[in-house]
Amino acid sequence: MGLNFTDNDTFSITTPLYYVNDLPHIGSAYTTIAADVIARFQRLRDVPVLMITGTDEHGQKIQRTAAARNKSPQAHCDEIVVGFQKLWDQLNIAYDRFSRTTASRHQAIVEEFFQRVWDKEDIYEGRQQGWYCVSCEEFKEERELLAGNHCPIHTNKTVEWRDEQNYFFRLSKYQTRLEKFYDEHPDFIQPPSRRNEVLSFVSQGLQDFSISRVNLDWGFPMPTNPQHTLYVWFDALLGYVTALLDPDDEPTLDHALQKWWPIQTHLIGKDILRFHAVYWPAMLMSAGLPLPGRVFGHGFLTKDGQKMGKSLGNTLDPFDLVNRYSADAVRYYFLKEIEFGRDGDFSEHRFINVLNADLANDLGNLLNRTLKMTARYCQGKVPNIVVEEIPIDDNLKSKGNALRDAVESAYTALAFSQVCEAVFKLVRGCNKFLDEKAPWSLYKQGQQAETEQVLYIVLESARLAAYLLSPIVPDLATAIYSQLGFSTDFNDRSIGRALTYDIHSRWGALPAGQSLGKAEPIFQRIEPPNSV
Ligand code: MSP
């Protein structure tokens, strides 16, 4: 049986700990936005949440990058980390912990964990020969390589031959236990295509993997043989555990695992699936720790249909995007437009069209014109009607009533595009309803009660849409709520206490008679630049 993601007392979620070889790119932004949205959804339900992000700072890749910049590795990392934190602020990411693998308390956790695995006799010395991709920080099978010894993921980089004495982790010992675990926890690896990928990889037979390096000093010395440096992935995965420590905790495994472990959701991209779905659970089994709830591997982003890369010169700068279009715009586009789990594309043309159609027109205009009519016809107050008197089979009321369950299960399954689809069905229904009912004529004909009912139905539907979309577009939701007369900030971490989920997630929560705020466009239409 899988973990139930809606009925837990607490909820913990991680993004990968990003390499600091460069400033964050749109791929890291994509994972982080998605994690933030789930964390926000849980906070809306008043579930205590811990969202973890951070940086992976050791290893050869970082050491070389720093050397090329004539910096010490630590000085280089400190500089790049600021760039990550700045982007997360600009994208409105409400993370709770930022885990850096160079933190001294992390070393204590890694050493304690290492000792447990060592005591289990799961670490032994051997000879490692093979092709290594420094950009992946991973050995590759010869058959995986592209022509000219290029890495299949970093296609512009060649792999390097290694032949050295290393310490190995006995992964092969865990083959049967892992298979049993996958079998008993069919939701552990998501979506199903990734699960199949892992099952097929594991069924080919697991090889032990090396967890130490010689000729590298940027990392933690191996506790039992300090001539060796611990492999960056062994140390990085444990960054998730270190992140669980409260700021004043002494760094021990017991303290770290007390409150938030096991982590419910590890959100990652598909390229690092093996580390999270095979190596990590085996390491945890070896150390005798419970395993995480699920690992979700999302797809890759392309630009205008092409793989993004520096060599192609078509990378998408997340700082530039958010500066030009706002955090909500970026958040909305990627989650609405791409089915989470699949690869997806960014085109600026499509980006502008989607935002204008959904946020500026369908939702923004709807709210704006309805508020203006309400100001004129109802003295700027929510019409004074009794919700129960609106017929239960009213199309929008019944759509609204059904929405919460649909949206809740979509968020739980990380089906963000389905959340948007479901909400916008209601919004588009409202636009149609307004055109059909024409409250402006009803009002002219003196049909005050009918006019008020129509306006209430639309205002309430817009409220519900804003509430359910608030994890994705928190600023927009805050603006809508404010124009509807609430003083609520969806960026407030205690939002679940400020607005009761059970009331606000249902149709009919807009209080009759509430004074409305000033009607202002919530999302400015974007004028396409000439080049797009
Ligand atoms: N440091 C490791 C993770 C260690 S976790 C304990 C790492 N870092 S990374 O910075 O290279 O990658 C971070 C994430 O960005 C990965 O989830 C990866 O899948 C994602 N992406 C990198 N390029 C991407 C795209 N073009 N599109 C979407 N995501 C992509 O791996």
Report the C-alpha gap between 521 and 311 in whole angstroms: 41
Confidence band, pLDDT 50/70/90 cuts, at residue 312: low
Say how many Å lie between the CA of residue 35 and the centre of ligand 1.
13
Structure token pair of residue 225: 């043989």
Q: Is 107 helix (H, G, I), strand (E, B) or coil?
A: helix
What DSSP state is assigned to residue 143? Answer: G
Query: 């204008």: which residue's tokens?
Result: 356
Whole-model pTM: value is 0.95
Please give the share of the chain, as a percent, with pLDDT higher than 90: 87
Beta strand extents in 141-199 (DSSP E only): 160-169, 189-190
Which of 529 and 3 is assigned the larger pLDDT? 529
Angle at 299 between CA 301 and CA 47, to 5 degrees: 110
Structure token pair of residue 32: 């982080």
pLDDT at position 128, please?
A: 87
Say how many Å lie between the CA of residue 28 and the centre of ligand 1.
6
> Which residue CA neighbors atom 11 of ligand 1 most closely?
19
Whether the Cβ atoms of residue 91 and residue 40 lie closer than 8 Å to each other: no
> Which residue CA neighbors atom 19 of ligand 1 most closely?
269
What DSSP state is assigned to residue 449? Answer: H
Q: Is 141 helix (H, G, I), strand (E, B) or coil?
A: coil
What DSSP state is assigned to residue 526? Answer: P
Edge-to-edge strands of the sheet including 221-222? 212-213, 225-230, 221-222
Q: Which amino acid is at 106?
A: H
Number of other CB atoms surrounding residue 271 within 10 Å: 16
Q: Which amino acid is at 166?
A: N
Q: In this structure, is the dihedral angle defined by the CA atoms of residues 23, 27, 28 and 32, taken in order, positive or negative?
A: positive
CB-ligand 1 contact for 508 (6 Å cutoff): no
In testing the pocket of ligand 1, which one of 13, 14, 19, 77 has its CB within 8 Å of the most ligand atoms? 19
> Which residue CA neighbors atom 22 of ligand 1 most closely?
27
Angle at 17 between CA 473 and CA 141, to 5 degrees: 120
Rg over CA atoms, the chain: 26
Q: Who's near 260: CB < 8 A, 6+ residues apart?
A: 10, 12, 50, 244
How far the first Cα of the chain sits from its last, in Å, is 49
pLDDT at position 2, please?
A: 37
- CA-based nearest residue to 122, from 237, 278, 288, 272: 288
Q: Has residue 489 got a pLDDT over 90?
A: yes
Average of per-residue pLDDT values in the chain: 94
Reported as type and span, the H/E element at residue 115 is: helix 104-119
CB-ligand 1 contact for 340 (6 Å cutoff): no
CB-ligand 1 contact for 77 (6 Å cutoff): no
Confidence band, pLDDT 50/70/90 cuts, at residue 532: low
Confidence band, pLDDT 50/70/90 cuts, at residue 186: very high
Q: Is 128 helix (H, G, I), strand (E, B) or coil?
A: strand
Structure token pair of residue 176: 């049967």
* DSSP codes joined into one string, 341-367: TB-EEE-HHHHHHHIIIIIIIIIIIHH
In testing the pocket of ligand 1, which one of 80, 272, 316 has its CB within 8 Å of the most ligand atoms? 272
Number of other CB atoms surrounding residue 66 within 10 Å: 22
Q: 3-state DSSP helix/strand/coil percent for the chain, to nearest 5? A: 50, 15, 35
Report the C-alpha gap between 397 and 526 in whole angstroms: 32
Whether the Cβ atoms of residue 384 and residue 512 lie closer than 8 Å to each other: yes
In testing the pocket of ligand 1, which one of 18, 26, 342 has its CB within 8 Å of the most ligand atoms? 18
Q: Could you report the per-residue pLDDT of 353-390, keeping only the tens digit for each?
A: 999 999 999 999 999 999 999 999 999 999 999 999 99
Q: Could you report the per-residue pLDDT of 121-133, keeping only the tens digit for each?
A: 999 999 989 899 9
Report the C-alpha gap between 442 and 30 in whole angstroms: 46
Name the β-bridge partners of 146: 150
Q: Which amino acid is at 345?
A: D
* DSSP codes joined into one string, 238-296: THHHHTTS-TTS-S-HHHHHSSSPSPSEEEEEGGGHHIIIIIHHHHHHHHT-PPPSEEE
Reported as type and span, the H/E element at residue 227 is: strand 225-230
Whether the Cβ atoms of residue 293 and residue 264 lie closer than 8 Å to each other: yes
Whether the Cβ atoms of residue 426 and residue 396 lie closer than 8 Å to each other: yes
Q: Could you report the per-residue pLDDT of 389-425, keeping only the tens digit for each?
A: 998 888 999 999 999 999 999 999 999 999 999 999 9
Structure token pair of residue 378: 């109802």
Say how many Å lie between the CA of residue 164 and the centre of ligand 1.
28
